[in-house]
Structure 1
Amino acid sequence: MDKYEKIRSSSHSPRSPSSPGTSRFDTRPRWRQNRICYLLEGLGTLIVLRLRSLIIIALLVIITSGVLTLKPLPSRYTNITANTTWASIEASHPYKPIAPPDQPLHILIPATKQDINLCKLLFTGSILGYPTPVITGWGEDLDESQRKGMTGGGSHLLKISRVLEYLGNLGTEHNDDLVLMMDGYDIWFQLHKDLLIERYYQINAKANKRIKERMGRAAKIEGIEQTIIFGAGKRCWPNEIHTVACWPLPPSPLPKDLFDGNTDNPVGSRPNPWSTTRQKFLNSGLIMGPVADMRALFARAESIVEKLGDAPEPDDNGSKWSEKVYHNSDQSVFNMIFGEQEYQREVIRIRHISWLFNPILKLQQFFGKDLSDTDEILEGAAIKNILNPPWSHMEVEHLDGQPLEFSIGLDYWSDMTFQTANSERNGGWMSFNQSLEPQVQHFDRWDCKPHLRPLPADVSSSQPPFFNQGNDNRALSVNASWNDVPLYTQYCNGVVPVMLHHNGDKASRDNRWHKMWYYPYAETMFKAQEPRQVESLVMGKVGKELVGPGSAFNDRGGIVNFEDACHGWNFQ
């Protein structure tokens, strides 16, 4: 009973017989005593009616604006992709360096044997100022019985075990060092080390802003941020698309008109169904992040490999395509981890929506709005609900806390590395001291509309191409700028990537090598390099060793000499 009901009750009840001077049969007028009560009752009724009217009006406004219109109030991805335009993209790309000076960097290259393509990677890293790498799994090739039916000849899962072993041997004083893990047989460096590190920090800064917009206060409360970057591709491969590895991923921040009306549409895609898809899927050819976070990530990856063993996934569709960890695919493992992370991020976001901090969202939820709805599609299928797509899919448990958070994100814009798979027609070599449009090598209705721009500011302000070749080397144009050399450029967004990853047509490793800016000067540039004293952080090694240009450590403490590993290669 509220106070207004108490007032009403007391004003109409007969007096108690025990009250002095009264009788239960006393019928004398009591209007004088009850006048104040009547006034209060009337005032209270008026206030209640007014409040009810205001609440009804507010609810009608909220329902009309947030549920019945095509402009919903803030939900899962508001302000992330809906209003993305090329003008806003240009405005969001001013260059202001944010990387700390002298950031330590470890480079890990999983490779089991000699190959000219490994030599190209070692050479490009040497002339562009990258630290001496560590080759993991060197000499640990598998026999024919183990290779049968396995991706990469059975070597791919060695990435996980050998990289984890190296990270586990690093002391805690190296926890904040950066680690770059990269494929050994199909990647070339194009730009300097300092530019890679700077772009790593730039990518994370922008990603953390998107995470904050998407998750609100939940991101801060749960400590969710991005510190690990994978390459980004156009297809969820090799995982089956009904698994958690594929459908819960956030939308690509790339513009929705990247391929005009063909964007993300397999109908208007050529030469394959994924060519006009925006990058939003993980590619494990490049992984970069702090030692501590990478250690946790690779430990999780190894636990998944051990759990799955040789059997198919529990949600295999009957094809047994997923057996033996998708035929020895490290990428399938990292796809699972990324998908689980993104699924649980949505669970966390919903869990932290409250009446106190998110009243509008709670009202929308109360009136039946699905706060996990999405207009994303996956290979032509509408996902509709991030936590529960309408088609048959893997069942995923909603977990408390954030046990599957590994701070993973993607290099959507190809700032770090351009993946050629399903994207061969999206880029080519350009000289920025000439008119750009005529240099586009192919363009028809199936391709992206080129969005070319002047040489990116971070490239033009970095050390020039031949900065460390010495003024006495007359064979090189030591005063040349980046405008003067041909650079592989992403036609679709004008980005000049630090690396080129030939994970599509492998023949391009041979027929495109001559187009790299350093090709005419390769041997001269290599010979200009001096041996250097390098400290090996491989377990059991103490002190520095003299390491020649292009050489590397192996993960057992030895040195892989460039002259031995690349004997007979003439840089052509």
Structure 2
Amino acid sequence: MATFGIPNGPWADRYHAAQSTMTTHFQHLYRFRPRARPTRAIFLTITAFFLVVVLLWRPSSQPTENYWLKYPSYRSSQDRPEALPIVHKGKPTFTRNDTLPGNLQKNNPSFHLIIPAKRKSSALCRMLTSAMILNYPPPTLINYGKKLSEGAKEYDHMKDRIASIYNFLDKTQHVHDNDLALILDGTDFFFQLPPDVLIQRFQNILKENNAKLAKKYGLVIVEKPSEQGAPETVQKYTQRVLFSASKECCPGLSRDAGCVAVPESSLPPDIYGWKTDSPSYRTLARPRWIKPGAVIGQVADLKAIYAEILRFIEQNRIPRGDSIALTYLFGRQEYVRELERRRASNPFMEWMYTMIGISEASNLTGLSPRLEAGRRYEHGIGVDYESRLFFNTWKSTRDVEWLRYRNITKTSFAQMLHNVPRERRLLLPDDLAPERVSNPFTQPIFGKNDPPLNPPINETLDALPHPGFYSWRKFPLLTNVHSASVPALICLDGNPSLRSTWWSMMWYHRWARALLRKYVRSPTGFEAAQSALLGGQEWWDLRGGRGGIWTEKGEWFDYSEVCVGYEKEVFHDGLGKWRQENGESDEPVYNQFGQLVKGKEGFSPS
């Protein structure tokens, strides 16, 4: 009987023979199969990895140039702007019963507000009013009343403006290199926050950004002559000057380093959602490029920048030459910085950071700007990406809301309504807390021996809310919802449709006349002297003066000489002309030490 599945007869022998042969063959294969060696595999993998690392780490056989030395990166001033003692943070140390020193001397840098403006206008008066209400130093108007010859073109006006700003910084006796200056290139600005907030934010931004720059670019040892001491370790590149930011680069320079090589914005890459930075949605671009118009920095640094801008426009008679020059300056600064960063960086780490998408490298593709060895391209220029100092309305009017921070419901949903990813409740900035900044409705204290009040108190004209009932939390403050910043200064960028609307929404507009009268009615006795002793705001400008403006020639003009006739646009309260509301005469203005500072009468530039 045959077994199931196995043939009988002669086929059975063949089957068993084949089975035996195959079994023997598989036994041989199994006997000689290489065994797995995990230790050897791991060793070979590690060896290969280190060979790749060594090859990538190995420096180039060709010598590399030290760009930090090739293009000098010295500073215009050895002072650190972030450490300047501009704002006094101490408390008064004297009382009215104490005797003040008779030889008061200013021992801290001054703060200058510089505005080029040739003629009076409603825009200029709104700007001056907002600056005075917030207690900024008396502005210096550049070229006020100046007229160029007939036939002067746009280029001539631009060159005259830049040259006049530079000459004021460079040749004015009371302006020193270590002073701080805020230059506003135009009159389309509204001040929103006090000057001490602006200055402290400027210094805080420099501290934050310089810490990042030290990590990114590193330090360098600077050799000194033997008589000057031992070598000094310094930071390669620092930030010393801040300009406003724009969502667009200067037109016509899309392939220049000023548009390509500059750093990315510090705002998150999805701050406007998935369309952020898309070329098709320019209003959803992150502010990244430099914007002329508003700049703050030390006088020494600003002089160097304006000297370069002036040199460029003298050599190139082109429209918007100042904007182009500034874009060139910023672009070449960042181009040289990136060359030096790449020279000093680790090739393997660069490759690894690029692979995982966290590289800080700037884009230099296709760029070859003409650079001259020995010429300075480092100016410490930075940009206020987050609008903590300056907010520019160009393509950005939809980024803001007017928020009262006591309204928790609105501040909680503001970012959600603007489609901000990872939205959160917006909070009043810490520097606007009651213990950090004074209440604008607090009235000054006058002594019995102080001169008569000018203008005298009027219950109707000087009516202000009680400071206990109003604070910064209750004011409507323009807020950049995306960056969660309340800017100190608003630039309308020539947008006429916003001038009247936004002016009426400024927190002080309702009480503008009363607040301005409070400003010009400043103490001239003990408080002024004590403030001077402490280096306070009254001594930010040694020339003194309240309720008016200076020119670069040293002329003083009272507010009424510049702004009478614009009361409707400024106050919109129907109370008549400034200083003539009750038939009052426009009396001369004295500074806090009793000196007559009012200029010539009857000056009326058109």
Settle same-fold status: TM greater than 0.5.
yes
Establish whether residue 465 from structure 1 lines up as the match of residue 462 from structure 2. no
Establish whether residue 241 from structure 1 lines up as the match of residue 254 from structure 2. yes
**For residue 410 of structure 2, what is the aligned residue in structure 1?**
437
- TM-fit CA distance, 1:452: 4.2
Find the aligned partners of 1:172 and 1:560 in 2 and give their Cα distance: 19
Establish whether residue 424 from structure 1 lines up as the match of residue 426 from structure 2. no
Find the aligned partners of 1:510 and 1:412 in 2 and give their Cα distance: 26
- TM-score after normalising by structure 1: 0.68
Establish whether residue 522 from structure 1 lines up as the match of residue 512 from structure 2. yes
Find the aligned partners of 2:174 and 2:123 in 1 and give their Cα distance: 34
Q: Secondary structure at the match of 1:266?
A: coil
Aligned amino acid, residue 388 of structure 1: T
* Change in 2 beyond 3 A, CA 1:399/1:206: farther
* Change in 2 beyond 3 A, CA 1:520/1:300: same
- TM-score after normalising by structure 2: 0.65
Q: Secondary structure at the match of 2:120?
A: coil
**Greater Rg by CA:** 2
* Change in 2 beyond 3 A, CA 1:120/1:457: same
Aligned amino acid, residue 190 of structure 2: W
Find the aligned partners of 2:296 and 2:53 in 1 and give their Cα distance: 47
**Residue 562 of structure 2: which of 560, 565, 570 is its match?**
565
5 Å-filtered alignment, 1:335-414, equals: 335-353=327-345, 358=346, 360-361=348-349, 386-389=363-366, 395-397=368-370, 400=373, 403-414=376-387
Q: What per-residue deviation string (whole Å, max 9, x for no partner) do you get for residues 18-57 of structure 1?
A: xxxxxxxxxxxxxxxxxxxxxxxxxxxxxxxxx9998754
Kept in 2, the 8 Å contact 1:258–1:449? The answer is no
5 Å-filtered alignment, 1:210-359, equals: 210-217=212-219, 223-267=236-280, 269=281, 274-308=282-316, 310=317, 324=318, 327-353=319-345, 358=346
**For residue 40 of structure 1, what is the aligned residue in structure 2?**
none
Kept in 1, the 8 Å contact 2:247–2:289? The answer is yes
Aligned-pair identity (%): 25
**For residue 547 of structure 1, what is the aligned residue in structure 2?**
545
Q: Secondary structure at the match of 1:230?
A: strand
Q: What per-residue deviation string (whole Å, max 9, x for no partner) do you get for residues 209-229 of structure 1?
A: 221232233696674211111
* Change in 2 beyond 3 A, CA 1:452/1:399: farther
Find the aligned partners of 1:336 and 1:62 in 2 and give their Cα distance: 39
Q: Secondary structure at the match of 1:145?
A: coil
Find the aligned partners of 1:52 and 1:442 in 2 and give their Cα distance: 54
Kept in 2, the 8 Å contact 1:174–1:291? The answer is yes
Q: Secondary structure at the match of 1:284?
A: strand
Greater relative CO, 1 or 2 (CA 8 Å, sep 6+): 2
**For residue 184 of structure 2, what is the aligned residue in structure 1?**
182
Kept in 2, the 8 Å contact 1:134–1:555? The answer is yes
Kept in 1, the 8 Å contact 2:244–2:390? The answer is yes
5 Å-filtered alignment, 1:17-28, equals: none
Q: Secondary structure at the match of 1:492?
A: coil
* Change in 2 beyond 3 A, CA 1:361/1:491: closer
Kept in 2, the 8 Å contact 1:179–1:290? The answer is yes
Q: What per-residue deviation string (whole Å, max 9, x for no partner) do you get for residues 365-400 of structure 1?
A: 9xxx999x9999xxxxxxx973333xxx6x314555
Kept in 2, the 8 Å contact 1:374–1:386? The answer is no
**For residue 476 of structure 1, what is the aligned residue in structure 2?**
465
Q: What per-residue deviation string (whole Å, max 9, x for no partner) do you get for residues 423-445 of structure 1?
A: 00000211011125379789877
Aligned amino acid, residue 437 of structure 2: S
**For residue 6 of structure 2, what is the aligned residue in structure 1?**
none
Aligned amino acid, residue 406 of structure 2: N
Kept in 2, the 8 Å contact 1:118–1:186? The answer is yes
- TM-fit CA distance, 1:328: 3.5
**For residue 130 of structure 2, what is the aligned residue in structure 1?**
124
* Change in 2 beyond 3 A, CA 1:407/1:548: same
Kept in 2, the 8 Å contact 1:249–1:339? The answer is yes
Kept in 2, the 8 Å contact 1:374–1:385? The answer is no
Kept in 2, the 8 Å contact 1:234–1:277? The answer is yes
- TM-fit CA distance, 1:200: 0.7
Find the aligned partners of 1:386 and 1:169 in 2 and give their Cα distance: 40
Find the aligned partners of 1:385 and 1:97 in 2 and give their Cα distance: 31
Find the aligned partners of 1:490 and 1:513 in 2 and give their Cα distance: 17
Q: How many residues align?
A: 440
Find the aligned partners of 2:418 and 2:56 in 1 and give their Cα distance: 40
Kept in 1, the 8 Å contact 2:241–2:302? The answer is yes
**For residue 114 of structure 2, what is the aligned residue in structure 1?**
108
Establish whether residue 202 from structure 1 lines up as the match of residue 198 from structure 2. no
Q: What per-residue deviation string (whole Å, max 9, x for no partner) do you get for residues 130-160 of structure 1?
A: 111111121234466334xx48xx6444442
- TM-fit CA distance, 1:506: 2.5
* Change in 2 beyond 3 A, CA 1:64/1:404: closer
Kept in 1, the 8 Å contact 2:492–2:498? The answer is yes
Aligned amino acid, residue 547 of structure 1: G
Q: What per-residue deviation string (whole Å, max 9, x for no partner) do you get for residues 526-567 of structure 1?
A: 1122367899xxxxxxx9766341x11111121232111111
* Change in 2 beyond 3 A, CA 1:458/1:544: closer
- For structure 1, which segment, 503-512 or 558-567, has the greater mean C-alpha deviation from structure 2 after superposition? 503-512
Return 5+ residue gaps in structure 1 as ranges: 1-50, 67-95, 311-323, 377-383, 536-542
* Change in 2 beyond 3 A, CA 1:145/1:450: farther
Find the aligned partners of 1:439 and 1:509 in 2 and give their Cα distance: 28
Q: Secondary structure at the match of 1:229?
A: strand
